[in-house]
Amino acid sequence: MSALSYQFSSLNNEVVSTEKNYSKIFQEVISQNDLVKFFCNNSGEIMQGMFQLESGGEKLFPLFRGLIGLGKPNSLELRYSIQEKSIFFTYQVVDQEEVDRFFTQVVLLLQKEVKFKGVLKEVIENQLRFRSEQSLLHRSLLVD
């Protein structure tokens, strides 16, 4: 029985190639993200594990749950714990590549969403600063 534990760290913009081994890609993606922790245990012919959102990422749980629910392989069984912000899963070892491919796509989408929200926040802050400066300039021109 082997136990695997991966910690996600920073965002990764790499395009996933379908020619690579998805287990390796999945491990790389997981090791580069600080949003989600992934634990997996091999029990003979069945893999068991969980995804858990780290502190700060709890607000993404509905999105994470929705992404995992979409296009889920039939071989993947899921249970959700809303209190723990975790998703528990089981699947057959023979389905590992399919499940790894699926989890890789979900994690990459989640990373893109986080990056998008960060960029959107910056754009909104810049617009607010611009409007504030424009207002100050306008007032200074009107006051003579």
Q: What is the pLDDT of residue 87?
A: 87
Choose among 24, 22, 19, 49: nearest CA to 37: 49
The per-residue b/e assignment along 17-54, b for 16 or more CB within 10 angstroms, e otherwise, is eeeeebeebbbebbebbebbbbebeeeeeebebbbbbe
What is the reported pTM?
0.67
Confirm whether 138 is domain-assigned.
no
Confirm whether 125 is domain-assigned.
no
Question: Structural domain of residue 26, as residue ranges?
Answer: 3-117
106-126 pLDDT per residue, tens: 888 888 888 898 899 999 999
Q: What is the pLDDT of residue 62?
A: 86
Confirm whether 129 is domain-assigned.
no
Phi, psi of 80 (to 5 degrees): -110, 145
39-90 pLDDT per residue, tens: 788 888 898 988 887 766 778 888 888 888 888 898 899 998 888 888 899 9
What is the overall mean pLDDT for the chain? 76
Confirm whether 59 is domain-assigned.
yes
Indicate if the pLDDT at residue 92 is higher than 70.
Answer: yes
Confirm whether 79 is domain-assigned.
yes
Q: What's the domain count of the chain?
A: 1
Confirm whether 51 is domain-assigned.
yes
Q: Who's near 76: CB < 8 A, 6+ residues apart?
A: 89, 90, 91, 95, 99, 102
Confirm whether 104 is domain-assigned.
yes
More confident call, 31 vs 1: 31
